[in-house]
Every structure is written in C-alpha cells, then in structure tokens.
Amino acid sequence: MKTERAFKYRFYPTPEQEALLARTFGCVRFVWNAVLRYRIDAFYERQEKIGYNDASAFLTQLKKHPDTVFLAEVSSVPLQQCLRHQQSAFKNFFAKRVKYPRFKSKKNRQSATFASSAFSYRDGQITLAKCSEPLNIRWSRNLPAKPSSVTVSKDRAGRYFISCLCQVETEALDIVPTMVGIDLGLKDLFVTSDGQRVNNPRHTARYERKLAKAQRRLSRKQKGSNNRAKAKQKVAKCHAKIADTRLDHLHKLTREIVNENQVIAAESLQIKNMVKNRHLAKAISDVGWGELVRQLAYKTDWAGRQFVQIDRWYPSSKRCYHCGFVKESLSLDVRTWDCPDCGTQGIDRDINAARNILQAGTALLAGAES
C-alpha cells in the first residue's frame, strides 16, 4: 500500500537564498492576510461566501495593483498554495475541527509550500524556483522517492527546515500476540496494562532556570532595539530545545510501543478543556499527551497495527478490573484502593485503569469486526 509521508531536514541557506526566502515568506503572509480580510469583509458586508476560485481571482487582481508589484519578485506557486491552505483551514473550521483562521504575523513561524513545478530534485539536491544554487540540506537519511511538494519553513529560533512530501510503499510489521492498554498521567507519562511505568521527564522543568534567565534579560531590553531582538531569539532557542527534546522522547517511546504490540488501547482526553485548570495547565501542556496519541495513531496505521481509543467518560480508574464494581467517587490523591465487592486489596489506580482501558478497547474492536 502506498501512502504519503513527509521527511523533514534542516538546511542552511546562503545570504542570497535567505533574502529570497524572507521575501517569499513575506509575500505568502501578505496574500494570506489580504485574502482572509477579503473573505471576512465579503461575508459581513454582503453575506457572500468566498470560495477558492473567487479567492484566486482576487489574487490575480491583487498582483496587477501598482502597490503590490512586489508579489512578482517571488515564485507564484507558494502564493497559490497559500490559498489552498486557507481553503482547507475554512473547511476544517466549518467541520468544527479547528478554530477560525487567524491572520499571520511575522513574529511567528514562517512557511511556504512549493509544488513540483516550483523546484527541481536532481542528484539528491533540491533547488527552489528563482534560486541559482541548490539548498545546503543536512541529509539525515535519503529520500525514498522524488518529492511531490516541499515546504520550507523558518521557526522563531531562526532555524530553517525543509519538509519533503513523498509517496512511499508501506510494509506491515509481522503480527505479534501482545496487546497493551495505556493510562496517561502526569507523575508517570503513562502506565501500561502489564505494569510498566514510564517516567515523565518534565522537559520544561529541566530547562526552567535557563529559560527564566533568558526571559528576564529580554524583559530589560528596550522595545524595538537590536539587543531585544537578539534576546528574543535566545528565548525562542530555549523553547525550541524543550520542544525538540519532548518530540524526540515521544518518537522513541511510540516506536517501541508500536513495534512490540499488535493492539494498543488508550483513553480519549479532551485536552483543551483540561488545560483550563490553571493549577495543572503547565504540566499538562509539557507532558505532550496529544502528540503521543497522534504518533500512535499514524504509526499503527503505517505498521498494520490496531489503535483504539475508548470513551473519555469510561470509569477506568474507578472500576475494579477483577469484578467490574464501580466506585462512586475516587479523588486524585487516592493511588490505591480496596474493592468492597470482591475484596481485592491494594488496587493500584493506574495499573487498574490501564487494564480496564485494554479490556474496553478490545471489546470495541471485537464489536467493530463482528
């Protein structure tokens, strides 16, 4: 079975390429904001819904305006791709998957997508449109096929990345007889149904002193000065280090789980509601539950494994795994409890929940297959 996968690499542009990319990012951002404003005004003033074709026609007229001749200095392909991305953003919004599309700022991550007509891939090198030489990419691994599109991005720490979308052949892993249930937590990142506890590394706490020092120095700098810009980038680099460390750790864990288990069951969490708790918001954001579940979902799909999420209202912690008795209440500070129905003593809250999650997950899969 063939599927599309993105392969991300870091690259180091020349001064000429850096200037061209800066212009490209700026034009993409300008087009996104202009078309978004056009859509909003058309709806509120004339109750008119603007689709992709109307947005494309608006972009054509925008390029002809004397004040926006700078749009012709960069490739037209990223500008057109920008409209497709915005159309997808509105489609996801109306499907209630994401929030309403927002205006882009030059202070945040910048990106531009180049279709196959706007770049060349020869002899293991990628050259973007209007570039005189190929990008200096640090190839950590070879591309399995010619990219159908590439996305060039610059993060807030000033690092440049290129993401290559390739169509590859996927091979399912050999079937194994093991299954696992996963109970997500804060003290432990997760606990499995077989009793394994994976410690929460608390990445933010590890770099907290360094981050706080950089933020204090930033607060003392005069707004608009070059020193403030330098201090701001140091803060961004510290945040990038935390994010990279967290992502690397999650990738290693999820790969191990997928390789060792045929069926993986986890609980569904409404994280955006959970972070409203101001006492736990920082810890919940740092642990990365959403990214962990996302990686498990697509990696099991690639590997031919099965991944299932149970309903978030399922009482996995309050239900006795041995007899099915459900306690009326169980506060978070209670880590072990005794079952009054079957007499089982010292029930570990997390392991019991993981076993119940696995049991409920396999029941869901059995019902779906029958």
Active-site amino acid positions = 183, 267, 350
Chain centroid to CA 342: 44
CA-to-CA distance for 40 and 62, rounded, in angstroms? 17
CA-to-CA distance for 294 and 193, rounded, in angstroms? 20
CA-to-CA distance for 28 and 180, rounded, in angstroms? 45
If you search the block for the tokens 């990419």, which residue do you land on?
A: 137
The residues, ordered by sequence, that sit 6+ positions from 336 with a Cβ below 8 Å of its Cβ are 346, 347, 348, 349
Selection from 321, 364, 351 nearest residue 193 by Cα: 351
Taking phi over 0 as left and psi of -120 to 50 as alpha, with beta for the rest, 10 belongs to beta
CA-to-CA distance for 9 and 18, rounded, in angstroms? 16
H or E element: which one contains 192? strand 188-192
Cβ atoms 290, 205 nearer than 8 A: no
Cβ atoms 181, 313 nearer than 8 A: no
